[in-house]
Amino acid sequence: MRVVVERLSKTFADRRGREVAALRQVDLAVESQEFVALLGPSGCGKSTLLNVIAGLLPATSGQVYFEGEARPGRPTSATVFQEFALFPWRTVRANVEFGLEELGVSGAERAERTRRYVDMTGLAGFEGKYPHQLSGGMRQRTGIARALAVEPAVLLMDEPFSALDAQTRTLMMDELLGIWARTRQSILYVTHNIQEAVFMADRVIVLSRRPGEVLDVVPIGLGRPRRESQQTEAAFVQAAERIWGLIKSQAQAALLESAPAERGG
């Protein structure tokens, strides 16, 4: 199924009751099996957009819909959170099972699917551990396995690796690409890191700062499977420069803004 975001706007009321526009007339689509990165400076409403797509926030105007053949028992989206958002009272296995429980997947199939995605994300042997016993990387693997297990139409990833240290982040990016190559799970990947976006995605959608508007959509012409050595290729460097050119002035303006944005993004 493809996800379509159509003329989506979102305004919040701030503390003084003034209307603040977070997103303005956003149009975008994620095709089936596609890896799309959503990139923008901080406070551009990236997380807001993800929340609207996930059905956790109502849109002010415009809509989000899923197009194509719906498979019964398959949710439209599942989210991987920046702060992991694992249930501390559940073991790795029980965390991965959570979405399947809510979908009403029966015991045997639930166990089978849980094992498949635990294996795929490299969590085998850690099933009985609680989140506080795991490193940040293993926690986010659990978050990814939990989201993959429900086999959503689109996987929403909200800066999934930004809470990890730099080395772990590089390893996790490689692993995510490996998982994507195997499952062809369509992914909408939010980040503020240009290298990360260009390295992983088929297309990079660049948002402006608040109110977030689509500045440009940059196709990435790098072959797959992606390797770190490609980061010196002309296609990589050109794409990264083009994106930086689009958001540099935006980022500078964001830097000079006195108050931090009330909502993440």
Q: Which residues sit at the interface with other proteins, rule CB under 8 A?
A: 54-56, 75, 77-79, 81, 83, 85, 87-89, 98-99, 102-103, 130-133, 146, 150
**Nearest-approach distance from CB 80 to other proteins, in angstroms:** 10
Find the largest Cα–Cα distance for the chain: 55
**Nearest-approach distance from CB 147 to other proteins, in angstroms:** 8
**Nearest-approach distance from CB 210 to other proteins, in angstroms:** 22
Contact call for residues 114 and 93 (beta carbons, < 8 A): yes
**Nearest-approach distance from CB 231 to other proteins, in angstroms:** 33
**CB nearer to other proteins: pick between 103 and 111:** 103
**CB nearer to other proteins: pick between 164 and 254:** 164
**Nearest-approach distance from CB 25 to other proteins, in angstroms:** 25
**CB nearer to other proteins: pick between 89 and 108:** 89
Check residue 66 and give left, alpha or beta (phi > 0: left; psi -120 to 50: alpha): beta
Gyration radius from the chain CA atoms: 18
**Which tokens is 250 given?**
């935006």
**CB nearer to other proteins: pick between 9 and 77:** 77
**Nearest-approach distance from CB 84 to other proteins, in angstroms:** 9
Burial (0-12, 13-18, 19+ Cβ within 10 Å), 100: buried
Strands (E), 102-211: 154-158, 187-191, 203-207
Pairing of strands 2-13, 61-67: antiparallel
Per-residue buried b or exposed e for 120-155, using 16+ beta carbons within 10 Å of the residue's own CB: bbbbeebbebebeebeebbbbbbbbbbbbbbbbbbb
